[in-house]
Amino acid sequence: MITTNKQGREPDMTYETIELAVKENIAIVYLNRPPYNPLNGQLFRELSHLFDRLEQYADIKAVIITGTGDRAFAAGADIKDMMDLNANEVLQFCQVSRLTFFKIESLSKPVIAAINGLALGGGCELALTCDIRLVSEHSKFGLPEINLGIIPGGGGTQRLQRLIGQAKAKELLYFGEMIDAAKALEIGLANRVVPLAELLPEAVALAKKLAEKPVVAMRMMKTAVNAGYHADLQTALDLEMACFGNAYASEDRREGMQSFVEKRKAQFSGR
């Protein structure tokens, strides 16, 4: 079980750029470099370390990522840190961010991005690695790298087009302009839009619903969807069948079917 001190940190690991709070079986991860929560190497390393640990804790069933304050989820990479890096150093930075994003995307538990303001550049790329994007009404999205003479280096050119389609992705990538929450919802970048005051309570409510689902089936569902998306149809269907078999072999499958027959609420054990 993860325990936290009054600041919401794990007592045996102090993070400087992120905060962790735990509500029952839900972990809430705060990006904590206010007011705009820019992403730097230290933040990526701390996120990478934390998500390794979240993967190991069986009692954590869902994760929320959000930003400290109400201005930004994450307003991109820390340009001041990046501007003097040479080509080799910036590639190393990209590798660190890429590994961190992969750990978030492939976490066996559902991850909700509670987007509380600007999600630009690397912040938008971080949101793309999450399973669900819950967005406050005043939030804005964008991949403005083209305006800096670069391109996204954390998966933006790839994950965005897979999520919203190539045509819309090219429009956002080529022009480098921001869109508001309503537009993000329209094109499928956001799942839901809510008032800022309702953002975290709604994210917690959604996370609680997800946390109630059977663990093995949720893990297999996420594996089938994520891995299958990048495969040809036959390979994806074979993967789905294997994941189905793993879920069917679980104790929770037996409990789920038995409770359905007996017309009662299932009591899932996580096995």
> What tokens does 8 get?
């919401």
Do residues 112 and 100 touch, judged by C-beta distance below 8 A? no
Q: Which amino acid is at 34?
A: P
Q: Which residue among 46, 55, 105, 125 is the active-site one?
A: 125
Q: Which residue among 46, 55, 145, 212 is the active-site one?
A: 145
Query: What span, in angstroms and rounded, lies between the C-alpha atoms of 62 and 106?
Result: 13
Q: Is 16 noted as a catalytic residue in this protein?
A: no
Give φ, ψ of 121 to 5 degrees. 55, -120
How many CA atoms lie within 13 Å of 234's alpha carbon, on the beta-carbon side?
0
Q: Which residue has the tokens 């991949």?
A: 143
Element (H, E) at 163: helix 156-164
Count of all residues that appear for the chain in the document: 271
For the chain, the C-alpha Rg in angstroms (whole number) is 19
Query: What span, in angstroms and rounded, lies between the C-alpha atoms of 165 and 204?
Result: 29
Query: What span, in angstroms and rounded, lies between the C-alpha atoms of 154 and 97?
Result: 6
Sequence-distant (6+) residues with CB within 8 A of 84 are none
Name the nearest CA neighbour of 210 among 47, 50, 73, 25: 25
> What tokens does 154 get?
């954390």
Q: Is 145 noted as a catalytic residue in this protein?
A: yes
Do residues 53 and 19 touch, judged by C-beta distance below 8 A? no
Catalytic residue positions, numbered: 125, 145
